[in-house]
Amino acid sequence: MQHHPPSHLGRALTVVLGALPFTVITLLVANRWAPLERWDQSVAAQAAEYGATRPNVVDFWHVVGDVFLPWAMRGVIVIVGIYLWHRRARLLTVWLVVSAGLELGLVHAVKHIFDRPRPQQMLVENDGWSYVSGHATAAFVMAGALGVVLPSVRGWRRRFRLLVMLPTIAVVWITSADRVALNVHYVSDVVGGWALGLAILTATSIGFGLRPGLRRRRRRTPSDDDGTTEPPRAAVIVNPIKVGDGVAFRRKVTRALAVRGFDDPLWLETREDDAGNAMAKRAIESESDLVLVAGGDGTVRVVCAALAYTGIPVGVIPAGTGNLLARNLHIPLDLDDALERILDGRNRRIDLVKVHGDELDTDRFAVMAGLGLDAAIISDAPPHLKRQIGWTAYLVSAAKNINHPSVKVRIALDDELVIERRVRTVVVGNVGMLQANIPLLPDARPDDGLLDVVVIAPRRVTQWPIVVWRLMTRTNRHDMYLERFTGRKVEITASVDVQRQLDGDPIGPGRSLTAEIEAGALVTRVPKRR
C-alpha cells in the first residue's frame, strides 16, 4: 500500500478548509448576525437565571474553570513535548510547541481586534474581552493535538486512540460548558474558540508535513497468491547502545516496514568487538532488499563500507552523536520522520572513499577523514558528555585542544600537485556539512566523484575567529589560514605522529593517510526531491 504525500495545492486547500469555519463564525459575530445574537442572548439569560438561585452549582463550575485553565492545557502540551523530545521525536515536539504558541498569540490577537464585551450577568468576575474563548481554544488545541493528530501520526492502534481521544474530547466539552454555565462567554465565543483551534491544528500539521501513520499491511495481489512475487525484506542493523529504547524502536521500524509491504525484518545488533561488519555480511547473504542502519557514525561507516558495490540500498536512521551522513543526505533526525522519508524515498548512488595509512588496514569512509586537531577533538570528547549532551560534547573537547600544536605535512593531489604546509588540521571529505550546519567543505557533494580537502592553519589562538568567520561565510578565498583543494586521490604525510579519524571514529596516531574516491560505490535511500 503506497502512501503518497499531498500536492502543494492539496495542502493549501486543506489549510483553507481548516480555517473556513473560524472565518465564517467570526464574520457572523463581527456583523452581529441576528439569529446568532438571539441565540447567544437567550442562552446567556438562561445561564444567569439558573445560576442565580444555585450558588453550589456556580461554585462547582468555578472550581472546574480553575482546574481547566488555558495554561494547564498548555502545560500538558509542554510535558508531552518533553517526553517526545526525550524519545527523539524532535519534529513532533517542535510542532506541539509551535501549536501551543500560536494558540496563545492568536487568542489574544483576536480578543483585542474584536473587543467584544462579556455577557452582562456574569456569575463570576472575569476581566478581558469575550471573543474568542481562550479556555475553549486551548482545550481544543490540546485535545486535537494529543487525542487526534498525535495518535494518528504515530500510528497507534484504534483502541489506544480511543483511550486517549475520549478523555481529551471530554475535557473540551467540560471546559466549554463551564464557560457557558458561568456566563462568562457566549456560545459563539466557545464555538469560535473551537474553530480557531481547528484552524491552528490544520495549519501547523500541514506546515510540518505530518501525515497519518497507516498501520495496515499491503493488500495482497493475485500475483502474491500465485507465489510469483515475494514481499521485500529489510535487514535492520542496530547499535543497541545508541538507540536507547530498543523495544519502542523495534516496534516503530517493524510497523513502518509492514505498512509498506515488507516482510518481517531481519534484526542484527552490533557488538562491542564488531561495529557492524559481520552484520552487514549477514544482510548480504540473506539477500536483503534494503538495509537500515541505526547507530553512531562509526556503525554507519562500517556498514556502508561492507555494502559497497553490492547494489543493496542503505537507509541511515539517525541515532548517534553526529549523524553526519544522515544530515548531509537531508534525512530528518526525528525517528518517525526519518523512517517515512527513507521508506517513501528514492535510491541515490553516492561515492565512498577508500583509505589506508601506516598502522591502518585498507578501509572506507563515507563522510570525512582527518589528521591533526579535528581527530584530537574527537579522541578527547568525554564519552559520558556525548551520551548526555550529544555532539556539543565536542565543543568541550575543542576548547581543551584549542592550543593543539601545528605539524608540518606534505599533501599530494592526484599524484601531481604537491604542497607542503604547517597546519593545525587537514580534513578530506566526501560531504561538507558538520553539526549545526557548519559548512566545512561547502562545495563537497556525495556523488560528484571528487574529494574535497580543507587545510586549516592558524598560527595563533587569536586567529581562530578569522577561520571560523571564513567557514561560516563560505568564503572561497585562499590564504595562510584556510585553503581548499579537490582531487580524486589525496596523500597526506605528517612529519610526526598525529591523531587521525574516520567519520568521527578515532583510529589512533600515525603519520600518513591516503584517500581515493570510489565513485558511485554505494546506493543510499534518501528523501524524495520536493
Chain segment 7-44, per-residue pLDDT in tens? 567 788 889 999 999 999 999 999 999 999 999 999 99
Q: What is the pLDDT of residues 447-479, one digit of tens each?
A: 999 999 999 888 877 777 877 787 777 666 666
**Which residue(s) pair with 352 in the sheet?**
518
**C-alpha distance from residue 447 to each of 302, 329, 388 (Å):** 19, 11, 34
Q: Given this model, what pLDDT does residue 3 score? A: 41
Provide the CA 141 distance to its chain's centre, in angstroms.
22
Cβ 507 vs Cβ 500: under 8 Å: yes
**Whole-angstrom Cα distance, residue 147 to residue 214?**
16
Residue 488, amino acid: R
Q: Are strands 234-238 and 290-295 parallel, antiparallel or unpaired?
A: parallel
What are φ and ψ of residue 412, in 5° steps? -110, 125
Is the CB of residue 195 less than 8 Å from the CB of residue 17? no
Contact residues for 450 (Cβ-Cβ < 8 A; gap 6+): 444, 486, 487, 488, 517
Burial 470-499 (b: 16+ CB within 10 A, else e): bbeeeeeeeeebbbbbebbbbbbbbeeebb
Q: What pLDDT was estimated at residue 426?
A: 93
Residue 220: predicted pLDDT: 41
**Of the candidates 355, 282, 402, 350, which has an alpha carbon nearest to the alpha carbon of residue 505?**
355
SS3 475: coil
| Residue 299 identity (one-letter amino acid) | T
The distance of Cα 283 from the centroid of its chain, to the nearest Å, equals: 27
Closest C-alpha to 392, from 321, 472, 295: 321
CB burial string 288-308: b at 16+ within 10 A, e below? bebbbbbbbbbbbbbbbbbbb
E strand or H helix at 18, and its extent?
Answer: helix 8-30
Give pLDDT, residue 217: 40
All 3 cell numbers of residue 284?
548480504
3-class SS at 510?
strand
Residues with Cβ within 8 Å of residue 99, at least 6 apart in sequence: 77, 141, 145, 200, 201, 204
Secondary structure class of 512 (helix, strand, coil): strand
Q: What is the pLDDT of residues 284-325, one digit of tens each?
A: 998 899 999 998 888 999 999 999 999 999 999 988 766 889
Report the candidate in 143, 148, 146, 195 with the shortest Cα–Cα distance to residue 172.
Answer: 143
Position 27 scores a pLDDT of: 95
Query: Given this model, what pLDDT does residue 213 score?
Result: 55
pLDDT in tens, 497-527: 999 999 888 888 999 999 999 999 999 999 9
Whole-number Å distance between alpha carbons of 378 and 372: 10
Q: What is the mean pLDDT of each run of 10 residues along the chain (530 residues)?
A: 53 90 94 93 92 89 87 91 77 90 94 92 88 94 89 72 88 92 93 95 87 48 50 92 81 90 91 90 92 91 94 90 85 88 94 92 91 83 61 69 85 90 92 80 91 88 78 70 91 93 88 94 88
Domain boundaries, the chain: 8-207, 230-353, 360-515
Residue 480's pLDDT is what?
75
Identify whether 57 is preceded by a cis peptide bond (ω within 30 of 0): no
CATH architecture of the region 360-515: Sandwich (2.60)
What are the grid coordinates assigned to 499, written together?
A: 591523531
Q: What is the pLDDT of residue 267?
A: 92
Contact 321, 297 (CB under 8 A): yes
446: closest CA among 337, 526, 505?
526
What's the number of CA atoms in the CB half-sphere (13 Å) around residue 528? 8
Q: Which CATH number fits domain 230-353: 3.40.50.10330, 3.40.228.10, 3.30.43.10, 3.50.50.60?
A: 3.40.50.10330
How far apart CA 312 and CA 524 sit, in angstroms, is 8
What one-letter code names the amino acid at 412?
A: A
DSSP 8-state class, residue 220: P
Residue 38 corresponds to which cell in the numbers above? 438571539
